[in-house]
A and B are shown apart, each in its own frame.
Chain A
Amino acid sequence: AQSVTQLGSHVSVSEGALVLLRCNYSSSVPPYLFWYVQYPNQGLQLLLKYTSAATLVKGINGFEAEFKKSETSFHLTKPSAHMSDAAEYFCAVSEITGRRALTFGSGTRLQVQP
């Protein structure tokens, strides 16, 4: 079975600082990987996706993630944090066959300090 581990349930950065949110996956073969953002009392918004093309993936709002097969990681980064980035971030892995259901990590809450 696939699984996702997000290290750090809470991450706090200063405005303008680098954002690094960690995600490691477990899968017998390279899966599809996703990052979603959830603002309070809202649904999930797709930030970016890895679907076996380029290993460095650029998403919306200046975020990017790098797929590293050797490390089974898909960490999310942003060079300079903005106050509006404060939210909950979820990493997800997709089944590679069949229904393609998403398995989510437990989430990382990002706080941005002024």
Chain B
Amino acid sequence: ETGVTQSPTHLIKTRGQQVTLRCSSQSGHNTVSWYQQALGQGPQFIFQYYREEENGRGNFPPRFSGLQFPNYSSELNVNALELDDSALYLCASSLGQFGSAKTSEQYFGPGTRLTVT
């Protein structure tokens, strides 16, 4: 069974630029969630995708956007990067229909470390 993978591992960008992060879900998992983990803090929910549609988002502005593809992989896009966007971005996958209990059981990838200078 293949776990959640993310690319790239590390990324350095300049303020104002745009970035795309990628995630492949665990085999058979149809739901992908994205989290931002700032240094020294717990992860914060950005948004979740199920059947290629966003299910809702946390307290993040519209410049954070995403996609989910038919194979359940996903992208996180961030426009107009700010210094505070520097963080570890975690992707998590889960199995289940929207709203089912199984969606709670989320398995995380290793993350992408984004540094904005």
- Tally of contact residues, A, Cβ under 8 A: 27
Chain B residue contacts of A32, Cβ below 8 A:
101, 104
Chain B residue contacts of A107, Cβ below 8 A:
40-42
Closest CB in chain A relative to B40 CB, distance in Å: 8
| Interface presence of B106 (CB below 8 A) | yes
A101-B58 contact, Cβ under 8 Å, with A44-B43, A90-B43, A106-B42: yes
A102-B48 contact, Cβ under 8 Å, with A45-B108, A51-B104: no
Closest CB in chain A relative to B56 CB, distance in Å: 5
Inter-subunit contact B103/A99 (CB<8 Å): yes
A101 CA to B42 CA in the complex, in Å?
14
Residue ID in chain B nearest A103 by CB atoms: B45
Inter-subunit contact B45/A100 (CB<8 Å): no
A92 CA to B43 CA in the complex, in Å?
10
The interface of chain B, by Cβ under 8 A from chain A, is: 4, 6, 33, 35, 40-45, 48, 50, 55-56, 58, 90, 92, 94, 98-101, 103-111, 113
